[in-house]
Amino acid sequence: MPALNFTVNGKPVSVEVKPNEFLAEVLRYKLGLTGTKIGCNEAECGSCTVIVDGQPVVSCIYPALKAQGAQIETIEGVAAQAYSPNPKSKIQNQLHPLQENFIKHGAVQCGFCTPGMIMQAKALLDRKQGEPVTDEEIKIALKDTYCRCTGYVSIANAIKSANGQEISLADYLPVTKHGYHVVGEAKPRPDAVAKVTGAAKYADDVVFPDMLFGATLRAGVPHALIKKIDTSKAQALPGVHAVLTHADVPGRKNHGLVTIDWPVLCACGDKVRYVGDAIAIVAADTQEIAQDALNLIEVDYKLLPVVDTPEFAHQPDAPRVHEKGNLLKHIKVARGDVEQGFAEADVVLERTYHTASTDHAFLEPECAIGRLTDEGRYEIYVGSQIAYQDRDQVAASLGVPKEQVRIVGTLIGGGFGGKEDIMGQIHVALLAKATGRPVKILYTRHESLIAHPKRHATTITVKLGAKKNGRLTAAKAELYGDTGAYASLGEKVLTRATTHANGPYDVANAKSDCFAMYTNNVPAGAFRGFGVTQSCFAVEMTMDELAGRLGIDPIELRKLNSLQVGSTTNTGQVLLESVGLDECLDHVVAAMKADEAQRIAAQRTAAQRTPVPGIAAQHTAEPFIYGQPWKIGHKNYAWGLAVGYKNTGLGGGANDCAGAEIEVYACGAGTAEIRTSSAEIGQGLPGVLAAVVAEELGLPFEQVTVLLSDTDLTPNGGPTTASRQTYVSGNAARHAAMQMREVMSRVAAERLDVSPDSLKFRNGRVEHADDNNGHSRGKSASFAEVVEWMQAEGRSTKLIYEYTAPETRPLGQGGDMHVAFSYAAHAALVEVDTETGEVKVLKVIAAHDIGRAINPLALEGQIEGGIVMGIGNALTEEFPHEQGVPWAQWLARYKMPSIKHMPEIKSFIVEHEISSGPFGAKGVGEISSIPITPAITNAIANAVGVRVRRLPVDQDTLLRAMKNGAKSVD
Amino acid sequence: MITAHPGLPEFDYIRPTTLEEASNFLAQHPGEARAFIGGTDTFVRMRDGAWQDKYLVDVKGLPGMNDLTFIPAVGLRVGAAVNMNRLIASPEVKEHYPLLAEAAHTVASYQLRTRATIAGNICNASPAGDTIGAGLVYDAKIHVHGVEGDRVEALRAFFKGPGKTVLKPGDIVTAVEYPRPPQGAQGKYIKLGRNAIGDLAIVGVTAFGYPDRTSSGYRFLVVLASVAPTPLLIDMTLLSEKPLTPELIDEAAHVAMNSVKPIDDVRGSARYRSLMVRNMTRNALTEVWKKLGR
């Protein structure tokens, strides 16, 4: 092997490399510099950006030998001095300004894109040499360096701040309530330093001695009978240690989160149901040998007719995907008498919509490592959204007790619902068992795209009836959902789509039917919004059109029917508190008006200088009439608006609980650690839990650490789904902290000789407070002292709290189906090019009722990221299948929003607290991504008069409709 | 049916020290060896399994490949290994060949432009090649080193089809030379992508005009990309024959539209592409006309 001699982060390095090795691989796997990430291996995502001789390059396609003699800078070399992973070291002072500002501005979420993003930004600032950097320059530099979490706003702010163009958080963070010490304050993420320095470990960054590499043989055909599987040639290949098929699965042959219908490995004589079905798995000395072995496995198929759409799947004579038939579930929602309601209506409108299958495109492809411990237990290292369910599923298929399996959660490079199902977890356990050695399976981007569940493509027919005065009398919806080859969370997702299909409105008569259908497409499961993204689009598009029919302002129509405290939902739930929908709407409308007034004033001034035909004339009326377009050249502009709601928590009768363990320590000034298995997928859970605990124990935020996602070390926090973690795990952490405070109070009260009730926990101390003015009477102890007293008395310094959310009722039984709902109103200003049909989102105004802001910095990140993901859902993202074969088999074929799509975002927070939430908080993870799609499509309709009822908006068909005078794209 | 992702095949990385050595090696391994410079497309295509060469010959370090020279009397010579970011930043390019800088700026991402080259963009012979239009209107010449020595090919006669050029085994492009553009020349490159489904241009229009002793006082050229098997150069004679008016520009845009027969594919319908050729051509020509001091 040739030697590569080069300089990495200032140190000379010599390493043997093969000609077909790339710089990213050499840095990661030979030099252990795992801060450089590989997101796609096709030069598309930018995660692997490093600086070579002063120039940024994507290292995944940079042949290592080209770097002969070169100077390489990676994320590990950006901080001024070697980084120490000890969070208490004074490392903050040594961070590069970019690293500091990424942390400060919340530009770090899941952290997987962060190293590449910082390297790319560093190259930009190095070029600028202190000169001010413009937004345009940032957009040019960062185009095609993708981030899926932040929406790019915070990244751009961080870069400018790092360049000395200081942007204050107060300038753009929305106003939120204060009143507590830590809760409600903008705090940097606890894991941020590790993420900006490259020290953060994701699954593929973990290495064991003697580790083998696994690979999975995929069916490649969407529907077929397996006639033969011959693995003999693969077995014989030198370097191959195991080739396993269906017969080698000792326990449960299928996996699944709700419905156990997904084969761990497909059996000979049985069927494959989608292209990503796993046929065989291999473990070998190297990834290359494992791939070669896959090519030697012979499989014969008898191809079967493909079921390609849910409507076709529902035909009586359609081929059966599963023996039980193609219907996974018929979901029904009913309130009142919908036919009577339509009879009472003055106007009835029925419309059909189509939404596309889309991919999460989290930047970290799936990776899992399985190993057997000396005690014979299985350890699985994986970035998963549901640690305990992974454990149970691995144990079931291995045929061992649950206690024999430990899931060790690594950091997760984005999830968005796409890392809830089993991918490699069972496979690595089987291979570890077969070989007795640790085995890693890392998916290629291609494999990730064709294997994991997507967002459900749906066909939704919405029918609304209203009186002339705008009061809705009836709402009906029929949904067909494509859940693909296996159920995944299809039943739950489509239940949510159905229950939300009548919109956030109080309608006396409502009925929805949904047919969740199996097809031979890639399975569909959880994806941020969980079905509500789809039904919100259908309802909110119809509402604008209905308003037009009624001659009522669409905003008024929504306010006439919106859910209020005291309203009843379509599932029969009476809302007793925390319904901030109208206030959200008011904020957005006021901000739209202000923006419009500003624009018109500016245009008038401009028009006086150089008259532009049409513009001045159009706006002689009162500023801002919702829906009124304007024109500049061949571009039309208009605002569009939509509202939405989304449940917090599992609901529907599920036992929604989370456990949290708290332990207090006397080290330093005293610290606490909070532990739960809940997953951090970029949303900011550690910051929320730390804030909640710090608040209850009166500790500084920095003195609380968080341990997540380990089934041996952390209690079950339940799945990270349904916008539930702030609420459910947040409550568990809060109650654990409150119980610990009680224990500490009793101990301290005895020592200080005061009543426990008179003690206050604040500023890292336990103080005897004066009843009248709240000042300390002098009797006090440090937090650490109290912990020492506990230890001296032999008391336990840790405890576990099991929190169970208030009981909910299953769909169809009335009563409370959910513990809380979050609400939002989004408005989008779009530009439609009437020559090309291209659509741009220029501005978004968003207001969210999330109960209470625990950490406004993380909250704003969830909102901006959700909005930009929603822009993708509306305009760019599509995962089409043709006869079961996906088109986007490479990232180059899947277009997610880049920094070029980033709009100006104005965000408002509405805090209608829910009494059962921690400090009144509800979820935000999904609602931020929901109304944005119909806000955009309503804006397009306002701008050019074409209602696009099929997602994503296609410029070709939109233009054709505009030219033909068609009123819609169906 | 989809095939498993093949991954990267084994290959040898060859780094010759002279052009002769490189040419001879390439000529001795036809179909097995490929010259590359930045590798921005090469390695992606190899991972996809589209290209399966056994030898990759890195010609970036060869003599003269990194030279970027402007001689006022002759023109611009861009060594084959000069990356696009360097080209874009060059003051001479900005001043005398702004169209080239503009087109190069639309290529991929900043990181890829650190390595991507004009020569590579040309040798890929993609119908969508962003910088090819500028090369065609500037009437660029391709300097080639082959087994039989050096020769010069005209870019206008360089392409044989998608991915196909006049290059033979052993040929290495060493530089692209751009003659000095006519006095007062102006250009515009408009690239239309699609909101959804990937990032490739579905129509690219390069318009170029300069003052000349014609009835209109100008001469115009247009290159269309992504709508024909190779980038298509169209002589806009009608814009020389009578005084320029918006109507005449419309007519020229129609000529452009009628000179291509795009196909339906997943990125856009034929009808849409035709329409976009017309609209983009009209916009690009109008822009150039404006710059010419209309």
Residue A63 belongs to domain with CATH number = 3.10.20.30
Give A11's contacts (C-beta < 8 A, 6+ positions apart).
none
Is the CB of residue A445 less than 8 Å from the CB of residue A481? no
In a domain, A735, yes or no: yes
Cβ contact (<8 Å) for A143 and B110?
yes
- Identity of the residue numbered A100: E
DSSP code of A163? T
Beta bridge partners of A254: A263
Number of Cβ within 10 Å of residue A620's Cβ equals 8
Distance CA A657, CA A672 (A): 22
- How is residue A807 annotated by DSSP? P
Contacting residues of B for A953, CB less than 8 Å apart: 195-196
Distance CA A722, CA A804 (A): 15
Phi, psi of A109, rounded to the nearest 5 degrees: -120, -95
Nearest Cα to Cα of residue A485 among A248, A219, A228: A219
The verdict on A439 and A477 lying in the same domain is no
- A839/B2 Cβ within 8 A: no
Q: Phi/psi of residue A205, each to 5°?
A: -85, -10
Q: Residue A812 falls within a domain, yes or no?
A: no
Q: pLDDT at position A581, please?
A: 98
Q: Are B7 and A889 inside 8 Å of each other by CB?
A: no
How far, in Å, CA of A167 to CA of A755, rounded? 48
A51 within a domain of the structure (yes/no): yes
Same domain, A318 and A289: no
Q: Give the tokens for residue A382.
A: 């994986």
User: Do A796 and A750 belong together in one domain?
Assistant: yes
pLDDT of residue B1: 57
Distance of CA A530 to the CA centre of its chain: 11
Whether residues A288 and A368 share a domain: the answer is yes
Model pLDDT, residue A819: 97
Give the CATH number of the domain where residue A402 resides: 3.90.1170.50
Q: What is the reported pLDDT for A81?
A: 58
> Dihedral through CA A923, CA A924, CA A926, CA A932, nearest 10?
140
Are A695 and A827 in the same domain?
no
Q: Which residue of A has its CA nearest to B272?
A: A956
User: In terms of domains, do A633 and A687 share one?
Assistant: no
Q: Give the pLDDT confidence score for residue A620 in this predicted structure.
A: 43
Q: Residue range B236-254: average pLDDT?
A: 96
Q: Are residues A912 and A822 in contact, defined by beta-carbon separation less than 8 angstroms?
A: no
Structure tokens at A399: 């045929």
Rounded-to-integer distance, Cα A130 and Cα A124, Å: 10
Of the candidate CATH numbers 3.70.10.10, 3.30.390.50, 3.40.47.10, 1.10.580.10, the domain formed by B186-291 belongs to 3.30.390.50
Q: Do residues A149 and A682 make contact, with C-beta atoms less than 8 angstroms apart?
A: yes
Residues in chain B closer than 8 A to A890 (CB atoms): 48
- The residue behind tokens 């000042």 is A775
Looking at beta carbons, which residues of chain A come within 8 Å of B107? none
Residues A531/A524, Cβ–Cβ less than 8 Å:
no
Residue A73: enclosing H or E segment and its boundaries?
strand A71-73
Residues 797-856 of A with CB under 8 A from B: 835-839
B151's CB contacts (< 8 A; 6+ apart) are: B143, B144
The H or E element containing residue A332 is: strand A327-335
A140 touches B: beta carbon within 8 Å: yes
Q: Check CB contact under 8 Å for A444 and B7.
A: yes
Do the Cβ atoms of A348 and A464 come closer than 8 Å? yes
Q: What does the pLDDT read at residue A910?
A: 98
Contacts of B7 in chain A (CB under 8 A): 287-288, 291, 444
Determine the pLDDT at residue A609. Answer: 59
Amino acid at A955: Q
Out of A804, A829, A848, pick the residue that ends a domain.
A804
Q: Distance between the two ends of chain B, CA-based, in angstroms?
A: 56
CA A395 to chain centre: 27
Domain end point (choices A804, A831, A847): A804
Q: How far lies A505's CA from each of A284, A543, A546, A914, A931, in Å?
A: 57, 11, 14, 19, 14
The answer to whether A19 contacts B8, with C-beta atoms less than 8 Å apart, is: no
Task: Judge: B109–A46 Cβ closer than 8 Å, yes or no.
Answer: yes
Evaluate whether residue A648 is within a structural domain. Answer: no
Architecture of domain B1-181: 2-Layer Sandwich (3.30)
Pairing of strands A704-708, A671-676: parallel
**What pLDDT score was predicted for residue B198?**
62
Beta-bridge partner residues of A802: A659
Q: Looking at residue A914, what is its pLDDT?
A: 98
Q: What total of structural domains would you count in chain A? A: 5
pLDDT at B59: 94
Distance from C-alpha of A945 to C-alpha of A960, rounded to nearest angstrom: 12
How many CA atoms lie less than 13 Å away from A804 in the CB half-sphere? 6
Phi, psi of A590 (to 5 degrees): -65, -40
Maximal CA-CA distance, chain A: 85
Instruction: Find out whether A869 and A901 touch, Cβ atoms under 8 Å.
Output: no
Residues A428 and A444 in one domain: yes
Show the domain range for A125.
1-170
- Nearest alpha carbon to residue A70 among A14, A4, A7: A7
Token reading at A374: 């000396």
Q: Residues A450, A886: contact at Cβ < 8 Å?
A: yes
For residue range B152-207, list pLDDT tens digits in order: 999 999 999 999 999 999 999 999 999 999 999 999 999 998 877 666 778 999 99
Tell me the C-alpha distance between A744 and A786, whole Å.
7
- Whether A326 and A386 share a structural domain: no
Distance CA(A116)–CA(A155), nearest Å, equals 12
A874 and A916 assigned to the same domain: yes
- Residues of chain B positioned with their CB less than 8 A from the CB of A46: 109, 111
pLDDT value at B287 more than 70: yes
Cα-based distances in Å from A529 to A572, A658, A900, A916, A933: 22, 22, 24, 22, 11
Verify whether the Cβ–Cβ distance A875 to B10 is below 8 Å: no
What lies within 8 Å, CB to CB, of B265 at 6+ separation is none
Domain's final residue, options A451, A469, A504: A451
A772: tokens are 């009248």
Could you tell me the sign of the dihedral formed by the alpha carbons of A684, A685, A690, A691, in that order? positive
Task: With a cut of 50, list the residues of chain A below it in pLDDT.
Answer: 82-83, 85, 91-92, 611-621
User: A51-64: per-residue pLDDT in tens?
Assistant: 999 999 999 999 99
Residue A184, in any domain of the structure: no
In B, residues 227-266, which contact A (CB 8 Å cutoff)?
266
Strand partners, B149: B146
Same domain? A343 vs A299? no
Tell me the ipTM for this assembly. Answer: 0.94
Looking at the fold, whether A115 and A248 belong to one and the same domain comes out as: no
Q: Which residue of B has its CA nearest to A52?
A: B114
In which region does residue A774 sit, left (phi positive, over 0), alpha (psi from -120 to 50) or beta (all else)?
left
Cis peptide before B181 (omega within 30 of 0): no
Q: Which two tokens stand for residue B285?
A: 């020509």
As a whole number of angstroms, the distance between CA A30 and CA A15 comes to 8
Q: In which band, very low, low, confident or very high, does the pLDDT at B6 lie, cut at 50, 70 and 90?
A: low
| A221 part of contact set with chain B, CB < 8 Å | yes
Contact B109 A220 (CB under 8 A): no
Q: Within the 92-131 window of chain B, which residues sit less than 8 Å (CB to CB) from chain A?
A: 105, 108-112, 114-115
Token pair 């309503």 is found at A938
Q: Which two tokens stand for residue A751?
A: 């020592």
In angstroms, how far apart are the furthest CA atoms of chain B? Answer: 61
Distance from CA of A41 to the nearest CA of B (A): 8
A286 touches B: beta carbon within 8 Å: no
For every residue of A937-966, which 3-state class applies, written as one string? HHHHHHHHCCEECECCCCHHHHHHHHHHCC
Domain spans in chain B, listed from the N-terminal domain onward: 1-181, 186-291
Q: 3-state SS of chain B: helix, strand, coil percent to 5?
A: 35, 25, 40
What residue has token string 């959660």?
Answer: A409
Note whether residue A467 is domain-resident. Answer: yes
- Would you tell me how many other CB atoms lie within 10 Å of the CB of residue A968? 15
Beta carbons within 8 Å of A139's beta carbon, 6+ residues apart = A156, A899, A900, A902
Residue A601 shares a structural domain with residue A618: yes
Q: Which chain B residue lies closest to A143 (C-alpha atoms)?
A: B109
Task: Count Cβ neighbours within 10 Å for each residue of B195-227 and write b for 16 or more, e otherwise.
Answer: bbbbbebbbbbbbbbbbeeeebebbbbbbbbbb
Query: Does residue A199 belong to any structural domain of this protein?
Result: no
The verdict on residue A468 lying in a domain is: yes
